[in-house]
Amino acid sequence: MQKSKIKKISIFYHLPFNDFISRFYLMDNLSTIEISEKIFRETKISISPRAIQKRLKGLGLIRSFSDAFNIAIKKGRKSYAHLRKSIKSCELRRGINLRLRYEIFKRDGFKCVLCGNTPKESRLVIDHIIPVVDGGTNDFLNLRTLCFDCNQGKMISEERKR
Ligand SMILES: [Zn+2]
């Protein structure tokens, strides 16, 4: 665990890597989630979209940590109000699109993987098994279906760990 963290950080500050990240962002118009997926596909190195955003911000390429906001700026939109509203939702903030959300629900049989609640009993949400703040990504294997109650319970217990 500790070893992989060190590896991640050293690669992270390696300059050519910054070049890749800025090129993907500026030239290929990829979102940070897409950049993270591309890097993982090509190098098997996992860098969270959040970490990429930090890098881009450090390079002065983005102004905010919100993808939607930065895309709006890139496209020259004047009003971001509707985007700001939508990114309040956890799922969009973490960049899980509707298709991925559906795929995860489908894989888990449309029920909470911990207690078996279905949408009839509780609202279902997508949970990051390794939290985003700890570098967890939107990888298929890092996501699972939880009901609202189990997810709240998990968040409270993690809050206590910190
Ligand atoms: Zn549950």
pLDDT for 16-53, tens place per residue?
Answer: 677 788 888 877 888 888 888 888 888 777 888 888 88
Do the Cβ atoms of 125 and 147 come closer than 8 Å?
A: yes
Q: Which amino acid is at 100?
A: L
pLDDT at 56 > cutoff 50: yes
Q: Cα(3) to centroid of ligand 1, in Å?
A: 34
Q: Cα(125) to centroid of ligand 1, in Å?
A: 10
**DSSP label at 120?**
T
Residue list, CB under 5 A from ion ligand 1: 112, 114-115, 117, 147, 150
pTM of the model: 0.43
* Residue ranges per structural domain of the chain: 2-86, 96-161
Q: Cα(118) to centroid of ligand 1, in Å?
A: 8
